[in-house]
Amino acid sequence: MIAFELKTDKKMASLINKDEIGQGLNHLEWLRKQFADIELVGLIYLTEAQEISDRASPAANMYMGSREALRKVWDDFLAVVQRLRPKSQLERFIEAEKIGEMQEWFCEGLFRRIAVKKMS
């Protein structure tokens, strides 16, 4: 699974502060307890901010991501849907299965596409 922390109100010159990192750490812990049987790839802060406070101590699996990166994944997904739409049901099934085997659509692949910068 991929966790998201929305900090979309932060501008490029803003910092992710210690309290916001702490909030993310709390979310990660809650997810680990609630969904112990599901692998947690990491947490992505969706933000325009580019830096974190020197006082913050992010976990190794915390990253910054952007709305643009998420939008690109969304646009790619819609392009796949548009490409599949005119095909017959059997053709859609066969092609969708091939697409589903591509690393970029695995959870880890999606994470790499959305995560722009490692926080630690």
Q: What is the pLDDT of residues 47-99, one digit of tens each?
A: 988 889 989 999 999 999 988 999 999 999 999 999 999 999 999 999 999 99
- Assess contact for 62 and 7: CB atoms under 8 A: no
- Assess contact for 84 and 92: CB atoms under 8 A: yes
**Would the pTM count as exceeding 0.85?**
yes
How much of the chain exceeds pLDDT 70, in percent?
Answer: 100
- Assess contact for 23 and 47: CB atoms under 8 A: no
Average pLDDT (10-39) is 93
- Assess contact for 15 and 51: CB atoms under 8 A: yes
Look at 29 and 8; give whichever has higher pLDDT. Answer: 29
